[in-house]
Amino acid sequence: MSLNRKEFNILDELLNRELPLSYFSEKYKVSERNIRYSIDNLNFYLNRFSLNRIILKKGVLSWQGSQITLNSFIEKITIDEYIFSKEERENYILINYLFSENTKITDIEKYLKVSRPTIKKDILALNLELKNFELEFVRENNSITIKGKEKKLRHLKLLKLLEYIEIKNNRLLFIQKLYITEKIESSIIKNYLTNFNISTLYDIILKIEKKLNVSFDNNFKDLMCIYLIPTLERIRKNKIILKKNNSKFLRNLSDYNLIKNSLSEIIPENLEFEFLHLTEYFISGYYSHNFSENLLLVQNFIEEFSKNISVSLNFDFYNSNNFREEILKYLLPAVYRIKNNFFLLKKEKTSNFNKIIYERVKTAVLSCNSLLEEPFREDEIIYLTEVCENYIESDSNNGISLTKLLNLIRENCNELKEEKLILELLTIYKNKIYDDRK
């Protein structure tokens, strides 16, 4: 009669409480007879250690004990007296393949006391979970490994590490575990961490914080310290990140070189995309929201803004990739409200922008501000005005577009609005049209 996690959970819920037999039957989707068997099994071991029995009276269960008593009872149960649940087997398998070297199925079978077909079924079940990370178990050269997107694999390692360790005051602490498998898994994690100096990693994060002249949240610093562990482990195994979708933007940020210089103490300088990848994470540390989410918000804003301002100013900003990239580079840091040096327009600077373009840009910005979590302020509106004006001016230097000219005339031909047409023409073709009305 071996115990299992379900029976420990029942005992935990009964701690100084009374619950009906039907409650556990419904919770675990088993018959009341099955729950009675579990109670009998628990009472057998409780008697062995001279602890209070579970009482069943008129269909209601009760047990008098303390959390200390319960924990002590769980710790006294040996592996020979314990049956692993499906969830425990799967987690044990995953921890082994994520953090152990040369994991063998035969060793897992022996520890979990199950057959090879059972292990294979557990791995198939794990593959369904790993699909969420775009990962999977793959058999290669008589061995099984986890393969897929490198960034996703590191993220999964981070999530599993957070279940066993934490960083406090620059010190690595192991989260206390109670159950048999958890303790073994903790020992696997401990062995995995022997090759990493946590103090060194944390000091680098502090250097980055100082160089950027920002204040990282303590939780962020702890998280990044832990994330650097699987990052370095994978780099040592030559599993390198080789691309970054927004690399051009990140590379042009002034913070990129500052972050790279600090990280070069632990990462080879030729691994550019590793630095870019980590730069994105460190930039996210300035703010309360995720960097990638903000990137998507800004891209959506640019999409709508480009459409609106193209119609309003009768100029094709929408299909200009250069225009989109230029304002993305400016607007994304603007969303975060970080340091002044990200803003091209300083407060002390006076701007001689075109008032007509300004009003139309402002209208377009206000109509798109709902796409953002924080609306763009006057600095961004003035900046966008100047960029739009520069693109129009640059285009007008190449000559007058007949298509644009005809469009302006058509817009005013039904009911001639002379002043409006003049303003439009002077706005779009100010260097090509001489105003000799005076």
Question: What pLDDT is stored for residue 247 in this prediction?
Answer: 82
Indicate the range of 133-142, 262-271, 364-373, 387-396 predicted with least confidence.
387-396
Which pLDDT does position 70 carry in this prediction? 93
Question: What is the per-residue pLDDT for 217?
Answer: 78
Would residue 427 count as lying in a domain? no
Give the pLDDT band of residue 291 (cuts 50, 70, 90): low
Task: Write the CB contacts of 193 (distance below 8 Å, at least 6 apart in sequence).
Answer: 165, 172, 229
Q: What is the pLDDT of residues 362-386, one digit of tens each?
A: 999 999 988 877 677 787 888 899 8
Q: CA nearest 93: which of 116, 72, 66?
A: 116
Same domain, 251 and 305: no
Please give the residue that has the higher pLDDT: either 417 or 349.
Answer: 417
Half-sphere exposure of 351 (CA within 13 A, CB side): 19
Is the pLDDT at 325 greater than 90? The verdict is: no
**pLDDT for the residue 314:** 83
Least confident of 72-81, 122-131, 298-307, 348-357: 348-357
* Same structural domain, 220 and 205: yes
How far is residue 76's CA from residue 83's CA, in Å, rounded to a whole number?
14
Report if residue 435 sits inside a domain.
no
CA dihedral 368, 371, 375, 380 (to 10 degrees): -60
216: three-class secondary structure by DSSP: coil
Asked if residue 302 and residue 204 are part of one domain, the reply reads no
Asked whether residue 404 carries a pLDDT value surpassing 90, the answer given is: no
In 3-state terms, what secondary structure has residue 151?
Answer: helix
Contact 264, 238 (CB under 8 A): no
Sequential DSSP letters for 41-109: HHHHHHHHTT-PPPEEETTEEEB---HHHHHHHHHH--GGGEE--HHHHHHHHHHHHHH-SS--HHHHH
Q: Inform me whether the pLDDT recorded for 99 exceeds 50.
A: yes
| Whether residue 64 is found in the same domain as residue 98 | no
- Asked which of 31, 54, 83 is the last residue of a domain, the reply is 83
Please tell me whether residues 297 and 277 are part of one structural domain: no
Q: In Å, what is the CA distance from 268 to each residue of 226, 238, 265, 275?
A: 19, 11, 8, 9
- Per-residue confidence at 202, pLDDT binned at 50, 70, 90? very high
Q: Give the model's pLDDT for residue 220.
A: 82
Where does a domain end: 168, 195, 222? 195
Task: Determine the Cα–Cα distance for residues 329 and 298; give it in Å rounded to an integer.
Answer: 10
Taking the model in full, what pTM does it have? 0.66
Hey, which of 77-86, 250-259, 338-347 has the most confident mean pLDDT? 77-86
Q: Is the pLDDT of residue 298 over 60?
A: yes
Cα–Cα distance measured from residue 138 to residue 144, given in angstroms and rounded to the nearest whole number: 6
Read off the CATH number of the domain in which 126 is found.
1.10.10
Instruction: Please identify, among 228, 261, 284, the residue that sits at the C-terminal boundary of a domain.
Output: 284
Please identify which residue in the block is written with the tokens 């840009």. Answer: 361
Average pLDDT for the chain: 84
* pLDDT reported for residue 350: 45
Asked if 339 contacts 295 with a C-beta cutoff of 8 angstroms, the reply is: no
Q: How many CB atoms lie within 10 A of CB 245?
A: 10
Residue pLDDT, tens place only, 342-368: 232 333 344 567 888 999 999 999 999
For residues 54 and 11, the answer to whether their CB atoms sit within 8 Å is yes
With b for 16 or more beta-carbon neighbours within 10 A and e for fewer, the 125-134 pattern comes to ebeeebeebe
Phi, psi of 273 (to 5 degrees): -70, -25
Of the two residues 271 and 417, the one the predictor is more confident about is 271
Region 237-243 average pLDDT: 93
What's the CA gap between 36 and 42, in Å, rounded? 10
Domain enclosing residue 29, as ranges: 3-83
The tokens 């502090």 sit on which residue?
A: 206
Greater pLDDT, 413 or 241: 241
Helices (H), 285-354: 291-313, 321-336
**Residue 73: how many CB atoms within 10 A of its CB?**
19
Res 333 pLDDT > 50: yes
Q: Is the pLDDT of residue 17 over 80?
A: yes
Q: What percentage of residues in the chain have a pLDDT greater than 70?
A: 82
CA distances from 14 to 31, 64, 66, 349 (A): 18, 8, 10, 70
Whether 218 and 270 map to the same domain: the answer is yes
- Residue 139: pLDDT band (50, 70, 90) is confident
Mean pLDDT over 175-189 rounds to: 93
The tokens describing 344, both together, are 């091209």
pLDDT of residue 403: 59
Exposure of 23 in the CB half-sphere (CA atoms within 13 A): 12
Residues 247 and 186 in one domain: no
Say which CATH number the domain at 41 has. Answer: 1.10.10.10
Of 66-75, 145-154, 263-272, 421-430, minimum mean pLDDT range: 421-430
Tell me, yes or no, whether 426 lies in a domain: no
What does the pLDDT read at residue 341? 27
Instruction: Report the number of distinct structural domains present in the chain.
Output: 4
Q: Which residue has the higher pLDDT, 251 or 52?
A: 52
* CB-facing half-sphere around the CA of 47: CA atoms within 13 A: 7
Distance, in Å, from the CA atom of 196 to the CA atom of 199, rounded to the nearest integer, reads 9
Q: How far is CA 228 from each of CA 8, 202, 209, 256, 266, rounded to the nearest angstrom?
A: 36, 9, 15, 17, 10
Average pLDDT over residues 263-287: 87
**362 and 305 inside one domain:** yes
